[in-house]
Amino acid sequence: MDANSMKVTRNDGEWIWINGKTMPLADARIGVEDRGFLFADGVYEAMRLYRGRPFGVKEHLERLERSAAAIDLALPCCRDTMAQEIQRLADRSELTDGLVYLQITRGCSVRNHLFPDPSTVPPTLLFYTRPLAPLPAPGEGAGISLLSVPDERWKRCQIKTIALLPNVLAKNKAAAAGADEAVFVEDGHVNECSTSNLFAVVGKTLVTHPLTNKVLPGITRAIVLEIAASVGVGVQERPMREDEAKSADEVFITSSTRELVWVESWDGQRVGKGRCGDVTRRLHQAYVERVREEVLPHVAVA
C-alpha cells in the first residue's frame, strides 16, 4: 500500500475543519502556545450525527455563542456559516453515526494571562468527526452505575468550557470504583454528572436540577423536559437531596452522544427496580422520534 492510499484509509471517518482548512484528523496541528493548551481558555460543543446529520446543531451553536460570550470571546464567523461547514465536513466524513466535536480557543500567542488583541490573534476554531456506534433502542441497553463525588468545580458550570479537569478526575474516580459515571454532590444535593445531566422520576414527576450556575444547560435535558408532557409526566426543576434521588422510582442521565441512559445502581445500591423504568423508556422513545423528525434524509452540500 502506498503512502497516499494509506492516508485515505487511515482517517476512517475522522476529518477535521481547522481555521478554514479541511484535512484528516490525524494531520491537524495546533501551536504549543495555543491558549486552549496553556490555559484551557476556550469553549466547546459535542453533537451526535444521525444519518450523517448533526442533531440539534442550531441549539448547540446557540449555546456555543453563549459560552463564548461568557468568557469574552467573539466567534470568528456566524452560526449559519458554522452550521454549513459542519454539514459539509459531516458529508466529507461519509459517516452515518458519529460525533462532531467543536472547540474554539482564544488563539495562539505569547503566553500571558492577559487576553491577546483579537485583531491580531484570531481564535482557533476547529471541529472534527469521529464514528460512533449506533445506540441501543429505548429500553434495550444496559443500565449504568453511578458514584457520588463532591462537587469541586468552579462556580460557572453553565459555561461549556474546555477546563474539564474536575470532571476528568471525577469520572476517573468513578471508574476506579467500578462505576460508569460520577454524580456531583454539594451540601447533600445532586447537581449533575461529570459528562451528563441527571434526572429522577419521583411518582409521576420528573425532577432535575434547575438551570443555575451549578449545571450545564444540556441540549438533551431541554428536549426531555419539552417532551415530558407527551408521556404524561409533570416536571419539577428543583434541587434534589441525594437520598431522595437515590430512592426515586427511576433515575437516568442525558447527553447528546448517549441520549437517555437508565441508572441501575448508585454507590453500590440498586436504583428503582433495577431495570429500565417505564417513564425513562417512553421519554427515550419520544426523544428518538424527535431525532428522527429532524434528521430525515438530506441532500449532501455540494
Ligand X SMILES: Cc1ncc(COP(=O)(O)O)c(C=O)c1O
Residue pair 148/174 in contact (Cβ under 8 Å)? The answer is no
| Helix ranges (DSSP H) in 177-277 | 219-227, 242-246
Residue 11 or 195: the one with the smaller Cβ distance to ligand X is 195
Q: Which residues bind ligand X (CB under 6 A)?
A: 46, 167, 192, 195-197, 216, 218-221, 254-256
| Helix ranges (DSSP H) in 77-143 | 79-93
Q: How far is the CB of 92 from ligand X (least distance, A)?
A: 23
| Helix ranges (DSSP H) in 181-277 | 219-227, 242-246
Q: Spell out where the chain has E strands.
A: 15-18, 21-24, 42-50, 53-54, 98-105, 124-131, 144-150, 181-186, 189-193, 197-202, 205-208, 234-237, 240-241, 250-255, 259-266, 269-270
CA distance 272 to 279: 12
Residue 108 or 223: the one with the smaller Cβ distance to ligand X is 223
Q: For residue 49, give the 3-state DSSP assignment.
A: strand
Nearest Cα residue to 15 out of 23, 7, 4 = 23
Q: How far is the CB of 192 from ligand X (least distance, A)?
A: 5
Q: How far is the CB of 226 from ligand X (least distance, A)?
A: 13
Q: How far is the CB of 175 from ligand X (least distance, A)?
A: 16
Q: CB atoms < 10 A from the CB of 214, how many?
A: 20
Residue 109 or 254: the one with the smaller Cβ distance to ligand X is 254
Residue 87 or 255: the one with the smaller Cβ distance to ligand X is 255
Q: How far is the CB of 251 from ligand X (least distance, A)?
A: 15
Q: How far is the CB of 44 from ligand X (least distance, A)?
A: 9
Can 160 be counted among the known catalytic residues? yes
Residue 105 or 256: the one with the smaller Cβ distance to ligand X is 256
Instruction: Pick the catalytic residue from 7, 21, 155, 160.
Output: 160
Residue 23 or 163: the one with the smaller Cβ distance to ligand X is 163
Q: Which amino acid is at 267?
A: D
CA distance 209 to 212: 8
Q: Are strands 21-24 and 53-54 parallel, antiparallel or unpaired?
A: unpaired
Indicate which residues carry an active-site annotation: 160
